[in-house]
């Protein structure tokens, strides 16, 4: 079933993605009836997600999934969550509400979308026949957005803070609950998504998209300073005709062993194939 709110992204300047420059007067989403959407794999309940071992198929495209218990170890699952806040506790259920949610400045209205956990080479989809993908829409998960925006904590015991998304909440110390800890992004930091294309086992190329680009990271546009906070177009036509796309994430926030600390998750929706 096609959703009624099918969409694509206006070609706005990247600078407009900065949280400080977004405006309620700018409507980033316009209808586009040829987007591939994901209502056919929708969760049975609102504000939830569904994970299928081995993955699932949508219009001839297979989205891989690897599971461990009730969690997504790598690949894709379907979600309709719209959580923008910190969690009140660090329980698995509470963290699921931000791990499997897209972050947006206003409540998400796109219905069912995909959440991807990047691990090794397992975050991929395959197509029944090679096609050119014009673009996909991508966004940060709420977990990654809060981690990059606030680091390990927001507030201290000496100076507790109100939840930035729920001003009426009691003041306290709000946690990101990322194992091993994360830092608040500052000058020069970045969180980059890479899409690598294949056709019959041969690599066709790779393209990158910055899910976060703090001031000074982009040498061509050093003033760019943003963390993506809405669905944003990632052009993939440069990969050519592909029958497989694998996703990777990298970040400037790494531990002493070189492992990325930023949560390795992103969201995907609104795939557009060349007609």
Residue 110, both tokens:
């796109």
The DSSP symbol for 33 reads T
Q: What is the pLDDT of residue 124?
A: 98
Q: What is the pLDDT of residue 109?
A: 86
Per DSSP, the three-state class of 16 is: helix
pLDDT in tens, the chain (275 residues): 444 343 433 333 333 333 333 323 333 454 478 899 999 999 999 999 999 999 999 999 999 999 999 999 999 999 999 999 999 999 999 999 999 999 998 888 889 999 999 999 999 999 999 999 999 999 999 999 999 999 999 999 999 999 999 989 999 999 999 999 999 999 999 999 999 999 999 999 999 999 999 999 999 999 999 999 999 999 999 999 999 999 999 999 999 999 999 999 999 999 999 98
Rounded Cα distance between 111 and 117, Å, is 20
Going by C-beta distance under 8 Å and a sequence separation of 6 or more, which residues neighbour residue 274? 131, 132, 133, 134, 237
Rounded Cα distance between 213 and 192, Å, is 8
Q: Is the entire prediction scored with pTM above 0.85?
A: yes
Question: Is residue 223 within 8 Å of 215, Cβ to Cβ?
Answer: yes
Question: Is residue 108 within 8 Å of 115, Cβ to Cβ?
Answer: no
Q: What is the pLDDT of residue 32?
A: 77
Angstrom distances, CA of residue 38 to CA of 34, 105, 142, 270: 13, 22, 20, 8
Angstrom distances, CA of residue 107 to CA of 78, 175, 215, 225: 17, 22, 27, 23
Question: What b/e readout covers 210-226, taking b as 16+ CB neighbours within 10 angstroms?
Answer: bbbbbbebbeeeeebbb
Q: What is the pLDDT of residue 107?
A: 87
Maximum CA extent, the chain:
59
User: What contacts 24+ positions apart, CB below 8 Å, involve 192-195?
Assistant: 192/249, 192/250, 192/251, 193/138, 193/234, 193/247, 193/248, 193/249, 193/266, 194/247, 194/248, 194/249, 194/250, 195/234, 195/236, 195/239, 195/245, 195/246, 195/247
Residue 34, both tokens:
């040829």
Q: What is the pLDDT of residue 29?
A: 52
Rounded Cα distance between 221 and 18, Å, is 13
């Amino acid at each position: 079933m096609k959703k009624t709110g099918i969409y694509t992204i206006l070609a706005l300047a990247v600078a407009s993605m900065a949280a400080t420059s977004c405006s309620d007067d700018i409507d980033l989403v316009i209808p586009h009836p040829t987007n591939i959407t994901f209502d056919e794999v929708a969760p049975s309940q609102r504000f939830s997600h569904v994970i299928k071992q081995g993955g699932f198929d949508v219009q001839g495209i297979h989205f891989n999934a690897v599971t461990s218990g009730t969690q997504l170890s790598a690949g894709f699952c379907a979600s309709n969550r719209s959580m923008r806040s910190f969690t009140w506790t660090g329980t698995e259920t509470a963290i699921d509400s931000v791990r499997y949610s897209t972050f947006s400045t206003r409540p998400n209205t796109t219905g069912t979308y995909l959440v991807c956990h990047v691990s090794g080479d397992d975050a991929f989809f395959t197509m029944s026949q090679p096609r050119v993908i014009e673009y996909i829409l991508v966004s940060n998960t709420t977990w990654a957005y809060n981690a990059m925006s606030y680091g390990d904590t927001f507030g201290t015991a000496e100076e507790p803070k109100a939840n930035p998304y729920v001003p009426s909440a009691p003041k306290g110390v709000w946690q990101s609950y990322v194992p091993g800890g994360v830092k608040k992004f500052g000058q020069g930091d970045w969180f980059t998504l890479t899409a690598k294309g294949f056709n019959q086992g041969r690599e066709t190329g790779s393209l990158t998209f910055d899910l976060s680009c703090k001031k000074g990271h982009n040498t061509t546009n050093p003033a760019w300073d943003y963390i993506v906070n809405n669905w944003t177009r990632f052009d993939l036509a440069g990969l050519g005709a592909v029958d497989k796309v694998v996703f990777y994430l990298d970040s400037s926030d790494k531990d002493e062993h070189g492992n990325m600390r930023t949560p390795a998750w992103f969201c995907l929706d609104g795939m557009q194939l060349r007609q």
